Each structure stands twice: as structure tokens, then as C-alpha cells.
Amino acid sequence: MSSQHFLTLFYFLLLSCNTITSSTSSSQNDETFDFVRPIDRKLLLGLNNMEKLSHLKFYWHDIMSGKNPTSFTVVPSPLKLNSTFSFGLVTMMDDPLTSGPELSSKLVGKCQGFYASTSQDNFAFLMAMNLAFIEGEYNGSSITILGRNPVQDKVREMPVVGGSGVFRFARGYAQLTTYSYDPKNAIAVVEYNVYVSHY
Ligand SMILES: *[C@@H]1O[C@H](CO)[C@@H](O)[C@H](O)[C@H]1NC(C)=O
Ligand SMILES: *[C@@H]1O[C@H](CO)[C@@H](O)[C@H](O)[C@H]1NC(C)=O
């Protein structure tokens, strides 16, 4: 064994001892835990939990008309003179997320949140939403997205800012493309491709 290898091994052992002592001492020192403390990643997430990368694809249905609308304007645009881009409008949504583009396809979750028109010279929305999944092992887990949505662009990208359950420590991004838009009935179907890193 070269001296360099030996040193590496030595440091590795030193580090692992350190981890063990610090993890035991952190549980012993609970009485001294006041407000914030560092915690060993392995203790919280489990030794075998490696960070995963997932690609989710589903369709978002925003339905503002008919017997069962899924979203409602809760604040109309306050602009009387020029409301071309509905600046100031806030719409609250509880929109179905389905595996296919048809509303009748499998429901995988709901998109709960709001979008607000934030541009006076373009169609651009601030979107704040929790994607609450109900499908299989993802049932009960959620992904939170906060971003800017210039709806007339072919592809819009918004950041994933967090998640819960399966998606704890989530970070990533979502890409949106409009699948169909029916202005008469105010029904939009948008394809979501979400790339998310999580444990
Ligand atoms: C409203 O604003 C847009 C963007 O500034 C402008 O192009 C449009 O002409 C305005 N419309 C009216 C009626 O003033
Ligand atoms: C999701 O979990 C809830 C609560 O545990 C349960 O009532 C529901 O049936 C589950 N849904 C699906 C689709 O598995």
C-alpha cells in the first residue's frame, strides 16, 4: 500500500469515526438542542437512500366553464381602461392532473394553487401551486412549483421549489406545453414534464 493510499484510508476512518461520534453525541445532547442544530444526512434519510431523479409526465386541465369548473377568478383585473392582459387577475384552481390528454384518462393528482396575471404588456402569470398526487406510491406526496408562465410561449419553464413525502428535498424544473386551448369555453389542457431530484 502506497503512503498516499494509506493516508486516504486513514482519513476515511477518521471521518467515519467522527460521523459516529457526532451522531451519538447529537442524540445525547438533546437537552442542549435549543433551536437549530446540524444533523447527519444519513440519520434522517437512511443509509441506503440515494438521491433519485424522476421524470413525471401528466396533463393539467383548467376548466373555467360548464357544470363543474375547476378554477375560478377570485380577483378580477382592477384595470378598467386596458385589461388586454388582465393584469392583476387572480384565479384559484383545483385542477385535475391526468396521465393522458383526455379528462377521462387516469387521475394522478390535483393541482391546487393560484395563478395571477403579472404583466401589463404580455400574457405572463405568476403560478404558485402544489401538485398533490394520489397515484400508487406517490399517493399523499406533493411537489411545489413557483414560477413565471408566459402562456403564449411554446415551452414554459418553472422551478420546482420543494416537495413532501416521496418528494422530500425536491428540486428541479417543469416544462409546460399547451396541448389544447378552447377560448370559447375557457378550457386549457397543458402537458407537464417535470424533472425532479428527490430522496
Ligand atoms: C393596452 O396595452 C397594450 C400593451 O401596452 C397596448 O398594445 C394596447 O394598445 C393597449 N390597448 C389600449 C386599448 O389602450
Ligand atoms: C390515497 O390515500 C388515501 C389516504 O390514505 C386513501 O384514502 C386513498 O384511497 C388513496 N388513493 C388511492 C388512489 O390509492
Q: For cell 408566459, what's the residue?
A: 150
Into how many domains does the chain fold? 2
Q: Within this chain, do residues 57 and 3 fall inside the same structural domain, yes or no?
A: no
Q: Within this chain, do residues 89 and 137 fall inside the same structural domain, yes or no?
A: yes
- Give pLDDT, residue 179: 98
Q: Within this chain, do residues 58 and 126 fall inside the same structural domain, yes or no?
A: yes
- pLDDT higher than 60, residue 28: no
Residue 46 domain-assigned (yes or no):
no
Q: Extract the C-alpha cell encoding 17.
A: 469515526
Q: Tell me the average pLDDT of the chain.
A: 86
Residue 176 domain-assigned (yes or no):
yes
Q: Within this chain, do residues 30 and 88 fall inside the same structural domain, yes or no?
A: no
Between the alpha carbon of residue 58 and those of residues 10, 16, 37, 72, 197, the distances in Å are 50, 43, 39, 22, 17
Rounded CA-CA distance 91/72 in Å is 5
Closest ligand 2 atom to residue 135 Cα is 13
Contact of 125 with 148, CB cutoff 8 Å:
yes
Ligand 1 centre from 114 Cα, in Å? 25
- Give pLDDT, residue 78: 82
Cβ of 150 below 6 Å from ligand 2: no
Q: Within this chain, do residues 134 and 189 fall inside the same structural domain, yes or no?
A: yes
Ligand 2 centre from 51 Cα, in Å? 26
- Measured from the alpha carbon of residue 83, the closest ligand is 1
Q: Within this chain, do residues 31 and 80 fall inside the same structural domain, yes or no?
A: no
Residue numbers of the domain that contains 9: 1-37
Chain segment 159-193, per-residue pLDDT in tens: 999 999 999 999 999 999 999 999 999 999 999 99
Q: Within this chain, do residues 97 and 26 fall inside the same structural domain, yes or no?
A: no
Q: Within this chain, do residues 86 and 136 fall inside the same structural domain, yes or no?
A: yes
- pLDDT higher than 50, residue 21: no
Rounded CA-CA distance 17/23 in Å is 10
Q: Within this chain, do residues 57 and 112 fall inside the same structural domain, yes or no?
A: yes
Q: Using CA positions, which residue lies closest to atom 9 of ligand 2?
A: 134
Q: Within this chain, do residues 25 and 59 fall inside the same structural domain, yes or no?
A: no
Rounded to an integer, the average pLDDT of 120-137 is 96
Residue 59 domain-assigned (yes or no):
yes
Residue 45 domain-assigned (yes or no):
no
Q: Extract the C-alpha cell encoding 45.
A: 434519510
Residue 35 burial class via C-beta count within 10 angstroms: exposed 0-12, middle 13-18, buried 19 and up = exposed
Q: Within this chain, do residues 82 and 162 fall inside the same structural domain, yes or no?
A: yes
Residue 42 domain-assigned (yes or no):
no
Rounded CA-CA distance 80/193 in Å is 37
- Measured from the alpha carbon of residue 87, the closest ligand is 1
- pLDDT higher than 70, residue 29: no
CATH number at residue 88: 2.40.480.10
Cβ of 44 below 6 Å from ligand 2: no
Contact of 64 with 74, CB cutoff 8 Å:
no
- pLDDT higher than 60, residue 9: no
Residue 7 domain-assigned (yes or no):
yes
- Choose which residue among 77, 79, 80, 82 to substitute to test ligand 1 binding: the one with the highest number of ligand atoms within 8 A of its C-beta: 82
Chain segment 66-119, per-residue pLDDT in tens: 999 999 999 998 877 667 888 999 999 999 999 999 999 999 999 999 999 999
- Give pLDDT, residue 6: 52
- Give pLDDT, residue 97: 98
- Give pLDDT, residue 156: 98
- pLDDT higher than 70, residue 46: no
Q: Specify the 3-state DSSP secondary structure of 121.
A: coil
Q: For cell 399523499, what's the residue?
A: 140
